[in-house]
Structure 1
Amino acid sequence: MSARLMANPQFRPTLAGQGRDEMPRPPRAMAASARKGNRRRAMPRWAKPAFKAALIGVPTLVLLVSALTAWKRPSLAETLAAAQEGLLESTSSLGFVLDEVLVVGRNETERSTVMDSLGIVRGDSILAFDLAEAKARLEELPWVSSASIERRLPGTLYIRLTERQPMAIWQHDRQFTVIDRAGRPLADAVELARRGNQRIETLPQVIGTNAPQQVQALLEALDKVPSIRPRVTSANWISDRRWNLQLDNGVTVKLPEGTGMPMALRQLAEMNSKGKVLDRDIVAIDLRQPDRAILQTSATAQLPGMEDEAAKKKPPGKKT
């Protein structure tokens, strides 16, 4: 066979009516894909740079306008203040004003008290609001233990409060004040009762000039005797040294001073668990001595075993 008749691997056949330099038509699937792509126009190349330039240019322009309106001020401080004021006015016109205040964790603190502490009203510039100062003012409120504030632009302040827990009612100078575990005054108990707060009815009372400073140690000791704590209705701080507890059945428990108090309460819990001492007809239990407990009975009290002794002393033949 002649070499001229051998197949050429670079040979590209042409269709009838098609020029030698023209590309062959793509397959049917490629043509369909091309038609589908042509229906979605790509973003012009100039769009992204223009968008970035607008993000940078608009605030810069606002700042320049504010500075130009204040350049004639007599001092640098006044110039900067005027520029800042102009910038805030410009941002306010763009919608960065207070529209809503969301408060989470508020149970006892009045909403009006929170708003007064913030010192801001609807329509004020939210960017001019000082978060640090507002946080400090909120944490000065009696019920508030800690606070956090954040802006949620364009117009919302989000506030989270952690409130103190009421633990007792301090009776002093004919007043009743709700205090927390650390003895800090929270609110007037009478006012809370007038508002319908039912929680304060379950709080024990503490009596004494310096009782709030000592209540934390007492509560910590009572936490370790859960069978006794719910029965305590009041605690009297005696001679600025020790506590007398009043129980729900009218029994007075005289506790020792200092570090002996927790041990005495554990002793009371053990005595009641084994001998049901709090169910007897007694008026007081003296636990001030570390090695003994003294029970004071009422005038008509009869301790276990006394009935048998009384029966032995009766004259024979006499019926009762």
Structure 2
Amino acid sequence: MPPLGRPQLLSLSVIFVVLLLTIVASTAEFFYVYEEQFRVEGIHYTEQAEVIQASGIRGWHIFFIDPDKVARRLEELPYVRSAHVTVGFPPRVLIRVEERQPVLRWERKGTLFWVDAEGTVMPARGEGPPLLVVDPEGMATQTGPDGEIRFDPYVLDALKQVHAILPEVSTIYYDTRGGLRFILSDAQGDIQVNLGSLIGLEERLHRLPQVLREMRARGEHFGLIDLSRPDEVVVFKNPP
């Protein structure tokens, strides 16, 4: 066998060095990501430990991490609307999260949830937004294509209308008996307001400020204002 020439020796040396570097890169602890290499931004309701756990890459080699796949996993967390993952060197993982913002609390069949502006339902965690919807029968429930519980967009739109006109209302009831109703606090006592069906709600709701102005101008107090009828407002000094 003829001796190897200089070019062949150089090629073998390069191959050997590449193989050696590959072995070192794939086995050295330096190339693996652990908890201290994670940085998570944008979280308020989600714990950092939850994000790291859900990423599924703790202890992984950085060369085998797919940032887009990790982001999709993180977006399955209940409060995460979107996620962006960046992997850098020296080994580090930057996770930027946009969380869902709850706009109301939903007491559905005795269990409390949060709901965002798109009707996405989340487990309640902490104090939450001031508006509470009490729905003992779960009437505002919709089922999404994957079987997940969602908040009825028509009910959500109705609640936005109520909040726009009467931002001081903090608790709204929704049931089959009376539709939407709530309690207004007045200097002379509480006033129960029945809105009824969601159909034609906006027109009926806009009558309420005028009724309240007239009531206060006359120095009267109504215990019940019924706006559920399409063409008239019914008031009672004492609720029946």
Report the TM-score, using the length of structure 2 for normalisation: 0.72
Residue matched to 1:260: 200
Q: Give the alignment of 1:33-182 within 5 angstroms.
A: 65=19, 87=22, 90=25, 93=28, 95-98=30-33, 99-121=36-58, 124-182=60-118
Higher strand proportion: 2
**Gap regions ≥5 residues in structure 1:** 1-56, 67-85, 300-320
Q: Classify the secondary structure of the residue corresponding to 1:224.
A: helix
CA distance in 2, matches of 1:134, 1:251: 52
Q: Is the 8 A contact 1:172 1:209 kept in 2?
A: yes
Q: 1:266 to 1:90 in 2, by over 3 A?
A: same
Residue matched to 1:283: 223
CA distance in 1, matches of 2:50, 2:156: 28
Q: 1:209 aligns with which of 119, 138, 143?
A: 138
Q: Classify the secondary structure of the residue corresponding to 1:229.
A: coil
Alpha-carbon RMSD across the aligned residues, in angstroms, is 3.2
Q: Classify the secondary structure of the residue corresponding to 1:255.
A: strand
1:293 and 2:230 matched: no
- Where in structure 1 do 4 or more consecutive aligned residues deviate above 6 Å? none
CA distance in 2, matches of 1:65, 1:117: 34
Q: How many Å apart are 1:171 and its aligned residue? A: 2.0
CA distance in 2, matches of 1:119, 1:248: 50
Residue matched to 2:169: 231
Q: Is the 8 A contact 1:106 1:161 kept in 2?
A: yes
Higher helix proportion: 1
Code of the residue aligned with 1:105 in structure 2: it is G
CA distance in 2, matches of 1:170, 1:134: 31
Instruction: Quote the sequence identity (%).
Output: 22
Residue matched to 1:45: none
CA distance in 2, matches of 1:63, 1:246: 78
Q: Is the 8 A contact 1:131 1:149 kept in 2?
A: yes
Which of the two has higher C-alpha Rg?
1
Residue matched to 2:146: none
Q: Classify the secondary structure of the residue corresponding to 1:158.
A: strand
The count of corresponding residues between Structure 1 and Structure 2 is 209
Moved more, 166-175 or 131-140: 166-175
Structure with the bigger RCO (C-alpha within 8 Å, sep 6+) is 2
